[in-house]
């Protein structure tokens, strides 16, 4: 049994998070997302609405450092509650939130390292998380210079300058 009972217990999802490297993409999608046949599918769907996309995103967020988060440009206008949830979840994480055409989100299925299917029926409920790194441990050595982009992420994540 894992030491932290609040961490991800699903073995496949836990493995996918552990396997994720810098710039790899993990998708959390609603029940209707067209998952490509050759994709690594982690199917958590049980019944309609179980689990919710938000529940899975929160669990993943607790264990994965996001660098960039993509979702459909329709969300802010057509599903403002989900937009607010995403903005709140990723606020202060150092992640760049970006809306893109819905078709561009669908196309990410071929690039994702894993696609996590939920049971939720959520309009435009598909999110692409591009994995990042925590700049603090990577650039804490002597005579190592932190590039500006990582300095900005550090400040966003820690609320202070490195």
- Alpha carbons 112 and 72: distance in angstroms, whole number: 16
Beta strands in 101-148 (DSSP E): 114-117, 127-131
* Residue 12 CB partners (closer than 8 Å, separation 6+): 42
**Tokens 């690594």 -> residue:** 40
Q: Tokens 């949830």 identify what position?
A: 85
State the CB neighbour count (10 A cutoff) for residue 31.
Answer: 18
Annotation marks residue 61 as catalytic:
no
Length of the chain measured in residues: 162
Catalytic residue among 22, 91, 107, 123: 22
Residues sharing a CB contact under 8 Å with residue 141, sequence separation 6 or more, in sequence order? none
Residues forming the active site:
22
């Amino acid at each position: 049994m894992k030491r932290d009972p609040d961490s991800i217990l699903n073995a496949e999802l836990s493995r996918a998070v552990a396997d994720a490297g810098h710039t790899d993409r993990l998708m959390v999608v609603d029940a209707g997302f067209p998952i490509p046949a050759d994709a690594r599918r982690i199917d958590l769907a049980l019944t309609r609405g179980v689990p919710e996309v938000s529940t899975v995103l929160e669990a993943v967020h607790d264990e994965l450092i996001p660098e960039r988060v993509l979702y459909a440009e329709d969300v802010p206008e057509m599903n403002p509650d989900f937009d607010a949830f995403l903005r709140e979840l990723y606020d202060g994480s150092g992640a760049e939130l970006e809306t893109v055409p819905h078709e561009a989100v669908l196309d990410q299925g071929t690039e994702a390292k894993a696609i996590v299917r939920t049971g939720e029926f959520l309009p435009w409920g598909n999110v692409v998380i591009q994995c990042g790194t925590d700049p603090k441990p990577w650039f804490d050595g002597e005579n190592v210079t932190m590039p500006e982009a990582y300095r900005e992420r550090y400040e966003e994540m820690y609320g202070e300058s490195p």
